[in-house]
A and B are shown apart, each in its own frame.
Chain A
Amino acid sequence: MPIRVNLDTVLTERGMTLSELSNRVGITLANLSILKTGKARAVRFSTLDALCRTLDCQPGQLLEWVDGPPEQE
């Protein structure tokens, strides 16, 4: 998928675990895991807002576009 999620990198930089982020943001661990592993098909603005607020980062630090084949419907 051309959109890569760099959640694990940002988490490492902040020294935070996924479960800790889950508790602070209020998103289930399962959903965060979907996001982290790149299986997510869409991200809500509210989720992005909560993540950026908690991790003190910009959306561009979390998401990255890489060249590759487009996702199949």
Chain B
Amino acid sequence: MSQGKATVSSRNRVTFALVALTILDAITLLFFLALCLLCVLAFNGVRRQTGVQFSAVLAGVLIMGSPTVAAWLFHLLLVSARYADPFSRTNVRRLNWMGLLVLLAWLLTSNWWASIAQWFGPSQEFGFPPIVNGNLQINSFVLALFLFGLAGVIARGVQLREEQDLTV
């Protein structure tokens, strides 16, 4: 009986997370579409102006787009946890893609190249590694590593379960 209640509570939590994430997805998607529109507008004006503006908007679309797609994949992950089997090869692929997208966002947003350039730059006599300076944004990077690790663990779990299912 108590186990049944716990299952219902767990399902409610997943449903709540799903609803919250759907709202978040919608908002992020709107931002993303607005940025795409800006990108198109900037592309129209690229003949008259420099391509810098276009590049900036394109980078913005990528920065905004990769977390949007990652959030959508997370949404699908939660849907599968609620309605289907969460431990599947599809979810392993989703987690790997989420890791890649988070890594892409990290590459686009962090100033690691500037930090490294500063570190090795000829103007500086003494330099510290960027990570010591605190310039390197490692949060997203760690999240990407975590996602890759999680995908690896789930992949192993899926493999073990398949073997278990095929043991007669």
On A, residues with C-beta under 8 Å from B are 27, 31-32, 34-35, 39-44, 47
Contacts and interface: CB of A to CB of B under 8 A. Distances in A.
Contacts of A44: 167-168
Interface in B110-168: 162-163, 166-168
Contacts, number: 23
Interface of B: 162-163, 166-168
Given A34-B166, A41-B166, 19 more contacts: A27-B168, A31-B168, A32-B168, A34-B168, A35-B168, A39-B166, A40-B166, A40-B167, A40-B168, A41-B162, A41-B163, A41-B167, A42-B163, A42-B166, A42-B167, A43-B167, A43-B168, A44-B167, A47-B168
A39 B162 CA distance: 11
Contacts of B162: 41
B160 to A, nearest CB: 11
A41 B160 CA distance: 11
Contacts of A39: 166
Contacts of A34: 166, 168
Contacts of B167: 40-44
A35 B166 CA distance: 9
A43 B168 CA distance: 5
B115 to A, nearest CB: 42
Contacts of B168: 27, 31-32, 34-35, 40, 42-44, 47
B162 to A, nearest CB: 8
Contacts of B166: 34, 39-42
23 contacts: A27-B168, A31-B168, A32-B168, A34-B166, A34-B168, A35-B168, A39-B166, A40-B166, A40-B167, A40-B168, A41-B162, A41-B163, A41-B166, A41-B167, A42-B163, A42-B166, A42-B167, A42-B168, A43-B167, A43-B168, A44-B167, A44-B168, A47-B168
Scoring B163, B167, B168 by chain A CB atoms within 10 A of each residue's CB, the highest score goes to B168
